[in-house]
Structure 1
Amino acid sequence: MQKLYSLAPRQLPALSTMVADLTNRHPEAIGNHLGVSADTVRRWLKAEQAPRASMLALFWETRWGLSALDAQAVNLVRSHIGLNNALRAENQNLHRRIQRLESIGQFGCANEPFRDSVHREPSLRHVR
Protein backbone atom coordinates (compact mmCIF):
# COMPACT_ATOMS: atom_id res chain seq x y z
CA MET A 1 0.00 0.00 0.00
CA GLN A 2 1.37 3.38 -1.00
CA LYS A 3 1.82 5.93 1.76
CA LEU A 4 0.21 9.31 1.24
CA TYR A 5 2.40 12.36 1.72
CA SER A 6 1.16 14.40 4.61
CA LEU A 7 2.23 17.72 6.01
CA ALA A 8 0.33 16.92 9.22
CA PRO A 9 2.58 16.26 12.19
CA ARG A 10 2.61 12.84 13.83
CA GLN A 11 2.98 14.31 17.30
CA LEU A 12 0.91 17.29 18.36
CA PRO A 13 1.45 19.63 21.29
CA ALA A 14 -0.92 19.26 24.23
CA LEU A 15 -4.35 20.79 23.76
CA SER A 16 -3.77 23.37 26.50
CA THR A 17 -0.44 24.37 24.91
CA MET A 18 -2.08 24.94 21.54
CA VAL A 19 -4.98 26.88 23.04
CA ALA A 20 -2.50 29.06 24.96
CA ASP A 21 -0.83 29.91 21.64
CA LEU A 22 -4.09 31.05 20.00
CA THR A 23 -4.92 34.75 19.83
CA ASN A 24 -8.55 34.14 20.83
CA ARG A 25 -8.64 31.52 23.59
CA HIS A 26 -12.31 31.74 24.48
CA PRO A 27 -14.12 28.38 24.26
CA GLU A 28 -16.90 30.07 22.27
CA ALA A 29 -14.47 31.27 19.60
CA ILE A 30 -12.67 27.91 19.46
CA GLY A 31 -15.98 26.05 19.29
CA ASN A 32 -17.21 28.34 16.53
CA HIS A 33 -13.99 27.71 14.58
CA LEU A 34 -14.28 23.93 15.00
CA GLY A 35 -18.05 23.72 14.56
CA VAL A 36 -18.74 22.46 18.08
CA SER A 37 -20.29 23.99 21.17
CA ALA A 38 -18.37 25.94 23.79
CA ASP A 39 -19.34 23.26 26.31
CA THR A 40 -17.65 20.63 24.15
CA VAL A 41 -14.47 22.72 24.03
CA ARG A 42 -14.57 23.13 27.83
CA ARG A 43 -14.98 19.37 28.21
CA TRP A 44 -11.98 18.77 25.91
CA LEU A 45 -9.89 21.30 27.84
CA LYS A 46 -10.78 19.69 31.14
CA ALA A 47 -9.85 16.23 29.81
CA GLU A 48 -6.81 17.67 27.94
CA GLN A 49 -7.94 15.58 24.98
CA ALA A 50 -9.86 16.27 21.76
CA PRO A 51 -10.48 14.34 18.55
CA ARG A 52 -7.44 14.30 16.25
CA ALA A 53 -9.24 16.27 13.54
CA SER A 54 -9.93 19.07 16.01
CA MET A 55 -6.37 18.94 17.32
CA LEU A 56 -5.04 19.25 13.77
CA ALA A 57 -7.39 22.14 13.01
CA LEU A 58 -6.13 23.96 16.09
CA PHE A 59 -2.50 23.09 15.31
CA TRP A 60 -2.65 24.91 11.95
CA GLU A 61 -3.79 28.05 13.81
CA THR A 62 -0.76 28.02 16.15
CA ARG A 63 2.67 29.50 15.47
CA TRP A 64 4.02 25.96 14.90
CA GLY A 65 1.43 25.13 12.28
CA LEU A 66 1.83 28.46 10.52
CA SER A 67 5.61 28.00 10.59
CA ALA A 68 5.27 24.52 9.04
CA LEU A 69 3.03 25.92 6.28
CA ASP A 70 5.44 28.79 5.66
CA ALA A 71 8.41 26.40 5.41
CA GLN A 72 6.47 24.20 2.98
CA ALA A 73 5.59 27.22 0.83
CA VAL A 74 9.22 28.41 0.77
CA ASN A 75 10.43 24.93 -0.19
CA LEU A 76 7.87 24.67 -2.99
CA VAL A 77 8.83 28.09 -4.35
CA ARG A 78 12.53 27.19 -4.31
CA SER A 79 11.79 23.88 -6.00
CA HIS A 80 9.75 25.54 -8.74
CA ILE A 81 12.39 28.23 -9.26
CA GLY A 82 15.01 25.50 -9.70
CA LEU A 83 12.80 23.61 -12.14
CA ASN A 84 12.09 26.83 -14.06
CA ASN A 85 15.81 27.63 -14.30
CA ALA A 86 16.63 24.10 -15.48
CA LEU A 87 13.94 24.21 -18.16
CA ARG A 88 15.04 27.67 -19.29
CA ALA A 89 18.66 26.47 -19.61
CA GLU A 90 17.57 23.39 -21.55
CA ASN A 91 15.44 25.56 -23.85
CA GLN A 92 18.37 27.92 -24.52
CA ASN A 93 20.65 24.95 -25.21
CA LEU A 94 18.17 23.51 -27.71
CA HIS A 95 17.85 26.91 -29.43
CA ARG A 96 21.66 27.08 -29.75
CA ARG A 97 21.75 23.57 -31.24
CA ILE A 98 19.03 24.46 -33.76
CA GLN A 99 20.88 27.65 -34.78
CA ARG A 100 24.10 25.63 -35.20
CA LEU A 101 22.40 23.03 -37.37
CA GLU A 102 20.67 25.70 -39.47
CA SER A 103 23.97 27.51 -39.99
CA ILE A 104 25.60 24.34 -41.35
CA GLY A 105 23.10 24.01 -44.17
CA GLN A 106 19.54 23.46 -45.23
CA PHE A 107 19.10 19.74 -45.66
CA GLY A 108 15.32 19.45 -45.76
CA CYS A 109 13.44 16.58 -44.23
CA ALA A 110 13.83 12.88 -44.79
CA ASN A 111 10.24 12.58 -46.01
CA GLU A 112 10.18 15.74 -48.11
CA PRO A 113 9.05 15.05 -51.71
CA PHE A 114 11.78 15.18 -54.33
CA ARG A 115 11.27 18.18 -56.63
CA ASP A 116 13.51 19.44 -59.40
CA SER A 117 13.21 20.41 -63.05
CA VAL A 118 13.54 16.82 -64.28
CA HIS A 119 11.03 15.27 -61.97
CA ARG A 120 7.42 16.20 -62.55
CA GLU A 121 4.44 15.60 -60.42
CA PRO A 122 2.42 12.66 -61.75
CA SER A 123 -0.61 13.80 -63.67
CA LEU A 124 -3.98 12.31 -63.14
CA ARG A 125 -5.48 11.02 -66.37
CA HIS A 126 -8.92 9.68 -66.71
CA VAL A 127 -8.90 6.15 -67.95
CA ARG A 128 -11.85 5.18 -70.12
Structure 2
Amino acid sequence: MFRAPRPAQLPHLHSLLDNIGRNDADLAKFLDISPRTLGSYRSKGQAPRVVMLSLFWESTWGQSAANCDAVNWGRLQFQENAMLKRQIAKLQRQILELEKAMAEVDKAANSPIFDVR
Protein backbone atom coordinates (compact mmCIF):
# COMPACT_ATOMS: atom_id res chain seq x y z
CA MET A 1 0.00 0.00 0.00
CA PHE A 2 1.38 3.36 -0.96
CA ARG A 3 1.77 5.99 1.66
CA ALA A 4 0.88 9.47 0.60
CA PRO A 5 3.71 11.91 1.25
CA ARG A 6 3.17 14.63 3.80
CA PRO A 7 2.66 18.14 2.43
CA ALA A 8 6.23 19.11 3.37
CA GLN A 9 7.56 16.19 1.31
CA LEU A 10 5.67 17.08 -1.87
CA PRO A 11 7.54 18.93 -4.60
CA HIS A 12 6.35 22.43 -5.44
CA LEU A 13 3.36 22.70 -7.77
CA HIS A 14 5.43 24.24 -10.55
CA SER A 15 7.96 21.40 -10.30
CA LEU A 16 5.19 18.83 -10.55
CA LEU A 17 3.57 20.53 -13.53
CA ASP A 18 6.91 20.86 -15.31
CA ASN A 19 7.78 17.24 -14.57
CA ILE A 20 4.54 15.89 -16.00
CA GLY A 21 4.99 18.02 -19.08
CA ARG A 22 1.44 18.08 -20.47
CA ASN A 23 -0.39 21.17 -21.56
CA ASP A 24 -2.87 22.79 -19.18
CA ALA A 25 -5.94 21.57 -21.08
CA ASP A 26 -4.86 17.92 -20.77
CA LEU A 27 -3.93 18.33 -17.11
CA ALA A 28 -7.23 20.05 -16.32
CA LYS A 29 -9.11 17.22 -18.02
CA PHE A 30 -7.06 14.64 -16.10
CA LEU A 31 -7.78 16.40 -12.79
CA ASP A 32 -11.44 16.97 -13.73
CA ILE A 33 -11.18 20.71 -13.21
CA SER A 34 -11.46 23.62 -15.59
CA PRO A 35 -8.35 25.01 -17.30
CA ARG A 36 -9.09 28.34 -15.61
CA THR A 37 -8.95 26.68 -12.17
CA LEU A 38 -5.63 25.07 -13.05
CA GLY A 39 -4.35 28.45 -14.20
CA SER A 40 -5.40 29.91 -10.85
CA TYR A 41 -3.50 27.18 -9.02
CA ARG A 42 -0.47 27.81 -11.21
CA SER A 43 -0.51 31.56 -10.58
CA LYS A 44 -0.83 31.09 -6.80
CA GLY A 45 1.82 28.36 -6.78
CA GLN A 46 -0.34 26.10 -4.66
CA ALA A 47 -3.25 23.73 -5.06
CA PRO A 48 -5.48 21.63 -2.80
CA ARG A 49 -3.89 18.51 -1.36
CA VAL A 50 -5.92 16.14 -3.53
CA VAL A 51 -4.65 17.89 -6.66
CA MET A 52 -1.08 17.86 -5.39
CA LEU A 53 -1.27 14.14 -4.63
CA SER A 54 -2.79 13.39 -8.03
CA LEU A 55 0.00 15.27 -9.73
CA PHE A 56 2.62 13.67 -7.47
CA TRP A 57 1.59 10.12 -8.40
CA GLU A 58 1.67 11.03 -12.09
CA SER A 59 5.15 12.56 -11.82
CA THR A 60 8.42 10.66 -11.98
CA TRP A 61 8.78 11.11 -8.21
CA GLY A 62 5.51 9.32 -7.52
CA GLN A 63 6.22 6.59 -10.04
CA SER A 64 9.65 6.09 -8.51
CA ALA A 65 8.15 5.85 -5.01
CA ALA A 66 5.58 3.30 -6.21
CA ASN A 67 8.29 1.29 -7.98
CA CYS A 68 10.50 1.35 -4.86
CA ASP A 69 7.62 0.11 -2.70
CA ALA A 70 6.87 -2.68 -5.18
CA VAL A 71 10.51 -3.80 -5.30
CA ASN A 72 10.86 -3.74 -1.51
CA TRP A 73 7.60 -5.66 -1.08
CA GLY A 74 8.77 -8.26 -3.61
CA ARG A 75 12.07 -8.70 -1.80
CA LEU A 76 10.29 -9.07 1.52
CA GLN A 77 7.98 -11.71 0.07
CA PHE A 78 10.92 -13.57 -1.49
CA GLN A 79 12.74 -13.72 1.85
CA GLU A 80 9.60 -14.82 3.67
CA ASN A 81 9.11 -17.58 1.08
CA ALA A 82 12.70 -18.77 1.53
CA MET A 83 12.30 -18.79 5.31
CA LEU A 84 9.09 -20.83 5.07
CA LYS A 85 10.77 -23.33 2.72
CA ARG A 86 13.57 -23.81 5.26
CA GLN A 87 11.02 -24.27 8.02
CA ILE A 88 9.10 -26.85 5.97
CA ALA A 89 12.30 -28.79 5.24
CA LYS A 90 13.16 -28.84 8.96
CA LEU A 91 9.69 -30.06 9.88
CA GLN A 92 9.85 -32.77 7.22
CA ARG A 93 13.16 -33.99 8.65
CA GLN A 94 11.63 -34.09 12.12
CA ILE A 95 8.66 -36.11 10.82
CA LEU A 96 11.01 -38.61 9.16
CA GLU A 97 12.97 -38.97 12.42
CA LEU A 98 9.72 -39.51 14.30
CA GLU A 99 8.55 -42.15 11.88
CA LYS A 100 11.89 -43.98 12.13
CA ALA A 101 11.93 -43.76 15.91
CA MET A 102 8.38 -45.02 16.22
CA ALA A 103 9.10 -47.95 13.93
CA GLU A 104 12.29 -49.04 15.72
CA VAL A 105 11.51 -48.68 19.39
CA ASP A 106 8.54 -48.45 21.62
CA LYS A 107 7.31 -44.95 22.31
CA ALA A 108 9.98 -43.42 24.59
CA ALA A 109 9.88 -39.89 26.01
CA ASN A 110 13.50 -39.25 25.01
CA SER A 111 12.87 -40.00 21.34
CA PRO A 112 15.02 -37.98 18.87
CA ILE A 113 11.93 -36.20 17.59
CA PHE A 114 11.88 -34.07 20.72
CA ASP A 115 15.36 -32.70 19.97
CA VAL A 116 14.84 -28.98 19.36
CA ARG A 117 17.51 -27.38 17.20
Distance 2:79 2:26 in 1: 42
SS in 1 for 2:25: helix
Cα distance in 2 for partners of 1:37, 1:47 equals 16
Bigger Rg, structure 1 or 2: 1
Q: Which residue of 2 aligns with 1:66?
A: 63
In the alignment, structure 2 segments of 5+ residues that lack a partner are 108-117
Q: 5 Å matches for 1:90-105?
A: 90-105=87-102
Instruction: Find the counterpart in structure 2 of residue 38 from structure 1.
Output: 35
TM-score by length of 2: 0.82
Which of these residues, 74, 78, 81, is aligned with residue 78 of structure 2? Answer: 81
**Superposition pairs of residues 10-25 of structure 1, within 5 angstroms:** 10=6, 11-24=9-22
CA distance in 1, matches of 2:78, 2:2: 23
Which of the pair has the greater relative contact order for Cα pairs under 8 Å at 6+ separation? 2
Which consecutive aligned stretches of 4+ in structure 1 deviate over 3 angstroms post-superposition? none
Amino acid in the other structure paired with 2:51: S
| Counterpart amino acid of residue 101 in structure 1 | L
User: Which residue number in structure 2 is paired with residue 9 of structure 1?
Assistant: 5
Gaps of 5+ in 1: 109-128
Which SS does the other structure have where 1:78 is aligned? helix
Aligned-pair identity in percent equals 34
Tell me how far apart the structure 2 counterparts of residues 23 and 72 of structure 1 sit (CA, whole Å): 24
Distance in 2 (alpha carbons) for counterparts of 1:72 and 1:83:
16
Alignment RMSD: 1.7
Instruction: With the length of structure 1 as denominator, give the TM-score of the two structures.
Output: 0.75
